[in-house]
Amino acid sequence: MMNEEEIQVLIDKSKKQDMTAFALLVTEYRQLVFRLAFRLLCNEEEARDMVQETFIKVWLNLDKYNREYRFSTWLYKITGNICYDRLRFLQHTPSGSMQGPSVDNLSLSSDENMEQSLINKDLKNLILRFTEELTPKQKLVFTLREVEGLEVSEVEAITGMSAEKIKSNLYQARKQIRMKINQMENNL
C-alpha cells in the first residue's frame, strides 16, 4: 500500500497524461472501488462496470481533485455518485432487480469458532440482503458508514450531505434492517 505522498506524485504525473502513473493509481485503488460498488449494487458484473466508469471519470477530472482531501475520499465520492445514479436508474426499471450478494470468503478457523462464524456469516448475508431494500441514499450512507467504516466527516465529503442528513438516513436504514430481522425472528 502506497503512502499519501507517493499517491500525490502519481496524481501529478497522471495530470500530465502519464498513463503508467495512472495505471499504478488504478492498481492501488481498484479493489476499494470494486468493493464499494459491489456492496452498493450487489452484482459483480454491475460493480465491474462501475469500476471502469469510475476510473474513466477520475481520468477525465483529475484536474478537479482537491489535495485537501485524501485521494481515497475523492474516489469514494465518485464511486458513490456513479453507483447512486445506477441504483436510482435500476429502481425505476422493471427488470431492475439484481442478484443478491454472496459472502463466502469467511474463513472458519477452528471447530469451536465454526458455529459462531456460521451465525455471523448468516447475519452478514441477511444484513446485505436487507440493504437491497433501502432507498439509494440510505444504502449509500449505510454502506459507507457501517460496512466501509468511514467517519461521518468522510461520508459528508463523499455524499455532500450534512451530518444531520447522514445520521437521519443511517438511523432510518438501521431501523428498517432491524425491523426486517425482527420480522424474520417472529416468523420462526
Q: Which domains are delineated in the chain?
A: 1-91+109-118 (1.10.1740.10), 120-187 (1.10.10.10)
Q: Rounded to 10 degrees, what is the CA torsion of 108, 128, 57, 48?
A: 60
Give pLDDT < 70 ranges for the chain: 93-125, 188
Reported pTM = 0.69
First-to-last CA distance in the chain? 46
CA distance 126 to 181: 8
pLDDT at position 131: 85
CA distance 32 to 26: 10
Amino acid of residue 56: I
pLDDT at position 119: 57
pLDDT at position 109: 39
pLDDT at position 88: 84
Residue 185 to residues 122, 178, 181, Cα–Cα distance (Å): 13, 11, 6
130-149 pLDDT, tens per residue? Answer: 888 899 999 999 989 988 88
84-108 pLDDT, tens per residue? Answer: 888 888 877 665 444 443 333 333 3
pLDDT at position 42: 84
